[in-house]
């Protein structure tokens, strides 16, 4: 079961990869997280997490285009795999299930 464990930060990054689609590389993910969640994260942390996700098979990477801003260096584009998608879905369902068990109406006295 070790392999299927997904940490909170890993889940966040994996979701961002899913969101960004063809444009998911290190810097873009960092910016996306700031924009959507308002959380300032470290570039190196994102990279390390991406590689770990790749090891687990939830994302795969390929070298993409270069831009002038990068001094001609290519980007490593990450795309979410089916396993990654399934993992995200399972996570979400699990959360929903758990959420359902929480009494929704709380009477404060």
Partner 1 sequence: MNNKPPGYALRFLEWYCPPYLHESIEGDLVEQFQNDLLQVGSRKARLYFTLNVLKFFRPSILFRNKFSNSFFQNTMFRNYIKIAFRTLWRAKAHSLINVLGLGLGIMCCILISLFVRDELTFDTFHSKANRIFRVYGKEDWGEKQQFLYTVTPFPMGPALKDNLPEVEQQVRIKNIDSHVKIGESLFNETVAVVGQHFFDVFDFELLTGVRAHALSGQSNVVLSKRMADKYFGTSDPINKIVSIQLGEQFEEFTVKAVADNPPTNSSIQFDILISDLNLSKLYNKELLTSSWFNIIPETYILLQDGAGAPAVEKKFPSLFKTIIGEEEFKKSKYAPGLQPITDIHLNTSFPAGIAQVSNPKYSYVLMAIAGLILFVACINFVTLSIGRSMQRAKEVGIRKVVGALRTQLIAQFIGEAVIVTFIALIIGVGLSLLNLPLFNELAGKQLLFSFNKFTLLLIVFLLMIIGLISGCYPALILSSFKPITILKGSAQAGNERQRVRKILVGVQLILSIFLISSTLLMREQLSYLQNKNMGFDKEQLMVVQLNAPRTGGMIKRVAAGFETAEKFKTELANFPNIISVCAASHDFGNGVWVRLGYTDEKKAYRTFNMNVVDENYIPAMKMELKNGRNFSEKVPSDKRRSVIVNEAFAKEYGWKDAIGKKIPGSKFNDHEIIGVVKDFNYASLYTKVQPLVLVEDPSIIFSGIENVNVDNSPIPKLLIRLKPIDMQASIDHVHKTWDKLDSEGEFSFSFVDQAMANQYRSDQNLGKIVSIAALLAIIIGSLGLYALASLAMQSRIKEISIRKVMGATENSLLVLLSKEYVMLIVVCLVVSVPVTWYFMSNWLSTFEYHVSIGVGIFIGAGAISLLIAGATISYQTLKTVWTNPVNSLKHE
What are residue 63's phi and psi, to 5 degrees? -80, 130
**Shortest approach of partner 1 to residue 98 CB, angstroms?**
30
- In this structure, how many other beta carbons lie within 10 angstroms of the beta carbon of residue 5? 8
Q: Which own/partner contact pairs does 36-44 have at CB distance under 8 Å and 24+ positions apart? A: 37/12, 41/9
Interacting positions 75-94 with partner 1 (CB under 8 A): 75-76
| Strand stretches in the chain, DSSP E | 59-66, 74-80
- The answer to the question of residue 26 lying near partner 1 (CB under 8 A) is yes
Among 9, 23, 52, 81, binds partner 1 (CB under 8 A): 52
Asked if residues 21 and 91 have their Cβ atoms less than 8 Å apart, the reply is: no
- The answer to the question of residue 47 lying near partner 1 (CB under 8 A) is yes
**Shortest approach of partner 1 to residue 87 CB, angstroms?**
20
The pair of structure tokens assigned to 91 is 């996570």
**Shortest approach of partner 1 to residue 48 CB, angstroms?**
4
Interface with partner 1 (CB under 8 A), residue total: 21
Among 21, 27, 94, 95, binds partner 1 (CB under 8 A): 27
């Amino acid at each position: 079961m070790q392999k299927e464990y997904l940490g909170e930060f890993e889940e966040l990054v994996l979701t961002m990869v899913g969101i960004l689609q063809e444009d998911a590389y290190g810097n873009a993910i960092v910016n996306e997280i700031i924009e959507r969640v308002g959380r300032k994260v470290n570039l190196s942390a994102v990279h390390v997490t991406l590689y770990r996700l790749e090891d687990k098979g939830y994302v795969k990477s390929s070298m993409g285009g270069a831009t002038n801003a990068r001094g001609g260096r290519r980007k490593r584009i990450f795309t979410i795999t089916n396993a990654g998608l399934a993992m995200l879905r399972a996570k979400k369902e699990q959360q929903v299930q758990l959420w359902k068990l929480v009494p929704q109406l709380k009477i404060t006295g």
